[in-house]
Chains A and B, each alone.
Chain A
């Protein structure tokens, strides 16, 4: 793995300034949540920083790069190419930054859609992306507070926000988000949390 400084520097050259600042804010939020929920702070830090490394790749290049890196493209990702930056980002994280840690790579892969049986780190990165300090949408402050009280409740709320938003756009919903919500609800029922 490259050192944090080298990752940071290389990432800056791969992203627009806005996207880079967002990455730093996600890193910071991820560290706070990791500390709160007893997750490895360093892993959260790196995953948060790098999660969007594929975000500024032009759309017309995404398919080629996905093919090159062996990212499996389902129907929905083919139609909504922006979704590719999660799994592709995980491949680039390995290739460009030498990150071998599977937990970090998994969190990067799932950060846009979520997925079944997410690890605590996966949940933290997904949520941090949603509630970092620069985000400003109706209900974000409530979600930010909730994230520090009840990680799963906040995660569920953010899945539902996403689903509602995608529906309102008449856009395509990625099945992973449905799987993520279902598996989270089943888990919460088992724990008596819902």
Chain B
């Protein structure tokens, strides 16, 4: 097991990416001693249909700009290149094929997404393909989450790791609303992303 290279997979819409995501990825990388974290902007997830998601290319480029100064961060367009709905299980299968057996994956996502995980496509296959890390805000310690994790452990014999990340209070929704209302977003996300949003007039309704 020890000759496995551990790699984090940071899934998300990244619309836009912000310091909450980056701090989370770095914290998990450190905690689990991951060789790197690959950010994977989602293509067309079957959920989140309620609002129009920003064009793939913009989200992809913002993610590159945000991660570019960290030598341990990479961005993958694996989901963006797909037509139709994208499912995590298919993405992870593809990563397995590309990277080979020497790599062990840690899928990083928000605790609220973990609550939904049991509804994800082929969940038993998915739990076999990678480890899961649930990032939570301090205090997000609901009984609901604990119960779900316990249930997963019992049913699938699989631990879901948890990491508390203070700055997760920053949210993409809030950033989009701020831009729409002409409020500042400085210090919530990297400057290069802020410039990119201005240049391309994103989120202005």
Contacts and interface: CB of A to CB of B under 8 A. Distances in A.
What is the interface residue range for chain B against chain A? 10 to 19
Given A9-B99, A28-B71, A133-B71, A3 B65 contact: no
A35 B65 contact: yes
A31 B65 contact: yes
Nearest to A6: B98
Contacts of B192: 32, 35
Interface in A14-64: 21, 24-25, 28, 31-32, 35, 41-42, 45
Nearest to A30: B68
A31 to B, nearest CB: 5
Contact of B64 (A3, A9, A21, A41): A41
Interface residues of A, number: 17
Given A28-B69, A133-B71, A5 B76 contact: yes
Contacts of A96: none
A135 B78 CA distance: 31
B65 A5 contact: no
B146 interface: no
A32 to B, nearest CB: 6
Interface of A: 3-6, 8-9, 21, 24-25, 28, 31-32, 35, 41-42, 45, 133
Given A5-B94, A5-B98, A31-B68, 18 more contacts: A3-B77, A3-B81, A4-B76, A4-B77, A5-B76, A5-B77, A5-B95, A21-B71, A24-B71, A24-B74, A28-B69, A28-B71, A32-B69, A32-B192, A35-B192, A35-B195, A35-B196, A133-B71
Interface of B: 61, 64-65, 68-69, 71, 74-78, 81, 94-95, 98-99, 192, 195-196
